[in-house]
Structure 1
């Protein structure tokens, strides 16, 4: 029996078969948000139907019959800028897989371009919709178009069309230093939208977004403390992604099933660009130019199927470097059991090295959440004495 290389064993300890494939239908975006990390968002590259057909065959090679469906996440640029007909042409090669329950489509959109025709397409292909909006108008000021004009009214119009058609949607909100001071107002607004859930992306230093002041851990802890308090109210219905994750972790510990949490493997998250180029670990690494890391490219689906790319992931230098970082996190960080290790893109953009450990993203998105809950629990315990 051939000897299995150590790096393959280590990779298998950390990673599972992909559950998600992120796809870049276009680099272009019709907005120019202040904190955007996409370096090519003003270039109008778009994926061809031919590349999408090859991608569908590649996804078929990793979508097992007995496993969960692969989430094909269309995330740009702004995916809807390619137009209804072209987007339908990109989705069409996946139909056999979708009808067999082997893939689900997701699209992350700023909603400004949603029309009745878009609703028809999203509904007919069962596309699950995520909308990017940062809160009520006063908190959404950094989402502007290419002329610097606020996008809020257009986003709300798109959301209104989704609601009229009964198309469910989730929300992602970017939390900046400017809009994190009143989470209760933000949560009330998001609840009023009728979304299924919300994820809070606390602003990160990454990609093209390198010159702004990211929120501090103390600010984030206050944000999470007030968010947790709001979520404890009677009648609370909105699901907050980060709080749901923490609640699941605590529930497994309470039920004596902690090992189930630790046995979960990471998704290598292959991200496929408009041209078929592939990066691993973080979509934010796509279109990043760094000769030292080979621009993070691990192959192109026009030449190499995804299954083969994934099978050789343990040989990629930056993947090995990231695994070293994960081992360092596990050895050194008291938050590791919950967090499961700093994100690859944050290590790179903040520290310049994927083998490093703590990042500001760790501090504001994971550690501050846990310490906020601990502070609340201690306060409640003190009041009950």
Structure 2
């Protein structure tokens, strides 16, 4: 039996008849390196059951980089996209040295011209020397660093020998910080054992101006730590409670840094749109290019079951437009129609958007479920909504008083 979205529910022809129009791909994650020098126990690439990396080439070849650039350029020109975003991922992208990054960036920029390309890179920073940082700055690459907080909070991010990576990460961050504007932000995975104040304080003290926090990957078939199978909106919400405490710390900090999750929730509460897959209902316009040239869906979906991210397309043989009609792309572009009734009738639908698609998986309905973090998202969104409304009302009252 085929499960949603492969049961015909997200057929492109039917969706077009119902008013959907394909949105072009404008963001590309490139897996230029499939090996890593760390062994983070929560990593969806290596440690959550997806073994596809074992069969994948260790590196993305020059031939595939050139083919991908040509496909992206063709797609962008066809759809009138003046610019696209390319994010360099791994494994650890710097595992084979800065020369691999230089080669990739040069080929990508020359192959995409005249289409402008914004290039970013996600790294664990353990291999960032001052010379590497200087070259990254020259290449105009925006660097994101994966770090869960202080040394104790970073206990999941060990090297291949089981030793802490924290000191090496801090040294790499120090080297990156020598070049203003180079570091894009920190990316932290939530651990309920970690103190939100310590996580936030450490990231800020290290000089980051932006932080994004991620819910650890889990599904209804493999529940996250401390979650239970209760699907009610008011069910036990330990991650919601953790996020509320983080929000308290952040919102009362007069010199607070950007915290993307909270900033984006507020933006959506105030009527804005957001295109990242974990929030809101805007169409997803992202694909992943694997080291063998395969064009896949968002890479984090791969841990749910074998082949979950596959589209059957490859940069050597397929145009990107062919991927736009794949059910896995269609279902991430049709908004609320991709969600179950419990989501469509939820008061925070426009903000939550159903959560990250990979967190909705079960063996009965495929991906057409509420997120395993449903109660947590409802709790933190309601909390922020109440706080923002209160601040607006107090500001309005103060304004009236001043005017009087």
2: CA distance, partners of 1:96 / 1:306 = 19
Specify every segment of 5 or more residues in structure 2 that has no aligned partner in the other structure, as ranges. Answer: 1-11, 229-235, 398-404
2:259 aligns with: 240
1:230 aligns with: 249
1:249 aligns with 2:285: no
Of 243-252 and 41-50, deviating more is 41-50
2: CA distance, partners of 1:113 / 1:327 = 44
1:22 aligns with: 29
- Seen in structure 2, the aligned counterparts of structure 1 residues 67 and 306 have a Cα distance that, compared at 3 Å, is closer
1:277-315 superposed Cα distances (whole Å, 9 cap, x missing partner): 1122x2113487636x6x6233011101223322x33xx
1:109 to 114, 123, 146: 123
Q: TM-score, normalised by structure 2?
A: 0.78
Within-5 A mapping of 1:52-91: 52-64=65-77, 67=81, 69-91=83-105
1:290 aligns with: 306
1:370 aligns with 2:394: no
What is the SS of the residue equivalent to 1:105?
strand
1:6 aligns with 2:14: yes
Higher helix residue share: 1
CA shift at 1:9, angstroms? 4.5
CA shift at 1:176, angstroms? 1.4
Of 134-143 and 212-221, deviating more is 212-221
Does structure 2 conserve the Cα–Cα contact (< 8 Å) formed by 1:16 and 1:268? yes
2: CA distance, partners of 1:303 / 1:135 = 43
1:359 aligns with: 371
1: CA distance, partners of 2:95 / 2:30 = 14
Does structure 1 conserve the Cα–Cα contact (< 8 Å) formed by 2:188 and 2:212? yes
Does structure 2 conserve the Cα–Cα contact (< 8 Å) formed by 1:107 and 1:128? yes
1:100-156 superposed Cα distances (whole Å, 9 cap, x missing partner): 562111111110011233223311221111100000111111110011000000100
Within-5 A mapping of 1:1-385: 5-9=13-17, 12=20, 16-39=23-46, 40=51, 45-64=58-77, 67=81, 69-96=83-110, 100=114, 102-166=116-180, 167-179=182-194, 182-205=195-218, 213=225, 217-233=236-252, 235-252=254-271, 265-280=282-297, 282-286=298-302, 290=306, 296-310=310-324, 312-313=325-326, 316=327, 318-319=328-329, 325-326=338-339, 328=341, 331-348=344-361, 350=362, 353-364=365-376, 366-373=377-384
Aligned pair count reads: 360
Q: TM-score, normalised by structure 1?
A: 0.81
1:31-70 superposed Cα distances (whole Å, 9 cap, x missing partner): 0011111135677611111111111111112335864621
Of 183-192 and 55-64, deviating more is 55-64
RMSD: 3.4
Does structure 2 conserve the Cα–Cα contact (< 8 Å) formed by 1:174 and 1:201? yes
Specify every segment of 5 or more residues in structure 1 that has no aligned partner in the other structure, as ranges. Answer: none
1:212-244 superposed Cα distances (whole Å, 9 cap, x missing partner): 625575322222222222223252331111110
Does structure 2 conserve the Cα–Cα contact (< 8 Å) formed by 1:224 and 1:372? no
